[in-house]
Structure 1
Amino acid sequence: MPNRLRHSADAMAGFWVTFSSMFKKRLTEQYPEKKEPTAPRYHGRHQLNRYTDGLEKCIGCELCAWACPADAIFVEGADNSEDERFSPGERYGRVYQINYLRCIGCGLCIEACPTRALTMTNDYEMADDNRSDLIYGKDKLLAPLQPGMAPPPHAMYPGTTDTDYYLGNLPKAGEDVR
């Protein structure tokens, strides 16, 4: 008899958390109608940034792909020409893909980027029902053009060098260059 009583007491102790939570007030979040703000340093979706004139910051160096422990990034660099210029340097990232089926959101690619071309946004709604849609290409990753930016390819600001771009010595978007 004492053995049976001890087993009953053990079962009641095990169910204590369950029983105590049954009588608490329920907490319901109204997602997606009411979205809570993310933390300021939240690691969300990646974004390829642009300079103030619309040229891409990515120089196609592939350091982000080398730094990725999950092998989720594929970059294929190409050479810029004077007729078709996508970035201020000699090279640009012709093909840029991030496979979000593999990405672990660690941010090592961000630290490896020498031009701060790659950053992470606070966007976290990336769920999809098709696996191929979770491989983001350059079209989904590039930052949208702001007013005053021209879509590449186009020439650099007159009188500027690659160094001016990398140091940020550029006029603001839409500002007269003279």
Structure 2
Amino acid sequence: MGYLGGFLVTLKQMGKRQRTTREYVKDEGGKRDKAVRMHGRHVLNRYEDGMEKCIGCELCAGVCPARCIYVRGADNPPDDPVSPGERYGFVYEINYLRCIHCDLCVEACPTEAITESKLFEFSFTNRSDGIYTKAELLVDDDGLPQQLPWEDWTDLDVVAPLTSAWMRATSPSGDARYEGKVAWSGELGFGVRPPDSDQGVDDPTIPAPDRHGDDHAGGHH
């Protein structure tokens, strides 16, 4: 087009009515409501008894298209196990300079250890802060996400209870026949969350599955 063509575009826009830029958050009504299945930054969950759900299997790292997840498992110490299984996630890191929030890691996890919160407002000036470690991803003693200095959790009471909503809405494999079925294990601070009721089964002739949470992979026994 050249620089003269660029000026032509500018001149054409000058005669048009311009849109008014809205001030972020300061508008009447504040922030918009977050969708239940919104993808935000991840959290590592724990069982109701406090044990970690991550077993260090590295399936999340293997399925990640952006190669932003690094996991290294280790054997559980017999006298003080970290997780119910033989292994646990000794190292767990997510590089948010590369993460595309596709949520494939959530769907690949066999124990529901990794889920995404609704937090999308976080900004850091140091590149090293963009690599979240296990200590930063693991939920606290109340089952809530860790709040880091560069994150905006002003609406924590709204988004924190929905940290595993995406996993619950799509498991198992998004099959609508699981509507109303509890198919996941309890979480620290929240217990067994209620089942989704709005996936919708269009064909009433499709039988619902017989199994419940106790039979589903990832249940904690």
Fold in common (TM above 0.5): yes
Report the Cα distance in structure 2 between the residues aligned to 1:55 and 1:19, rounded to whole angstroms: 64
- 1:29 maps to a residue whose letter is E
Matched, 1:31 2:16: no
Relative to structure 1, the CA distance from residue 46 to residue 18 in structure 2 (aligned partners, 3 Å threshold; closer, same or farther) is farther
1:81 positional shift: 2.1
- Relative contact order higher in (CA < 8 Å, ≥ 6 apart): 1
- 2:32 maps to a residue whose letter is E
**Is the CA contact 1:78–1:91 (under 8 Å) kept in the aligned structure 2?**
yes
- Could you tell me which residue of structure 2 aligns to residue 133 of structure 1? 129
- Trace 1:40-55 onto structure 2 (pairs within 5 A): 40-55=36-51
**After alignment, is 89-98 or 27-36 more displaced?**
27-36
Match of 2:119, SS state, is: coil
Deviations 1:72-126 (A, max 9, x none): 0000000112212111100000000000011111111111101111101100122
- Could you tell me which residue of structure 1 aligns to residue 68 of structure 2? 72
Report the Cα distance in structure 1 between the residues aligned to 2:68 and 2:218, rounded to whole angstroms: 26
**Is the CA contact 2:112–2:218 (under 8 Å) kept in the aligned structure 1?**
no
Deviations 1:13-36 (A, max 9, x none): x72x553323x6x35234278322
Match of 2:142, SS state, is: coil
Report the Cα distance in structure 1 between the residues aligned to 2:109 and 2:127, rounded to whole angstroms: 27
- Could you tell me which residue of structure 2 aligns to residue 91 of structure 1? 87
Report the Cα distance in structure 1 between the residues aligned to 2:96 and 2:102, rounded to whole angstroms: 12
Match of 1:92, SS state, is: strand
Report the Cα distance in structure 2 between the residues aligned to 1:113 and 1:45, rounded to whole angstroms: 16
**Structure 2: tracts of 5 or more residues without a match:** 1-7, 144-187, 189-214
Larger radius of gyration: 1
Match of 1:64, SS state, is: helix
- Could you tell me which residue of structure 1 aligns to residue 201 of structure 2? none
**Structure 1: tracts of 5 or more residues without a match:** 1-10, 150-162, 170-178
Report the Cα distance in structure 2 between the residues aligned to 1:131 and 1:78, rounded to whole angstroms: 28
- Could you tell me which residue of structure 2 aligns to residue 3 of structure 1? none
- 2:219 maps to a residue whose letter is L
Report the Cα distance in structure 1 between the residues aligned to 2:105 and 2:124, rounded to whole angstroms: 23
- 1:35 maps to a residue whose letter is K
**Is the CA contact 2:43–2:116 (under 8 Å) kept in the aligned structure 1?**
yes
- Could you tell me which residue of structure 1 aligns to residue 219 of structure 2? 167
- 2:70 maps to a residue whose letter is F
- Could you tell me which residue of structure 1 aligns to residue 15 of structure 2? 19
- Normalised by the length of structure 2, the TM-score is 0.57
- Normalised by the length of structure 1, the TM-score is 0.70
Relative to structure 1, the CA distance from residue 30 to residue 71 in structure 2 (aligned partners, 3 Å threshold; closer, same or farther) is closer
Counting aligned pairs with the same residue, the percent is: 50
Report the Cα distance in structure 1 between the residues aligned to 2:111 and 2:23, rounded to whole angstroms: 40
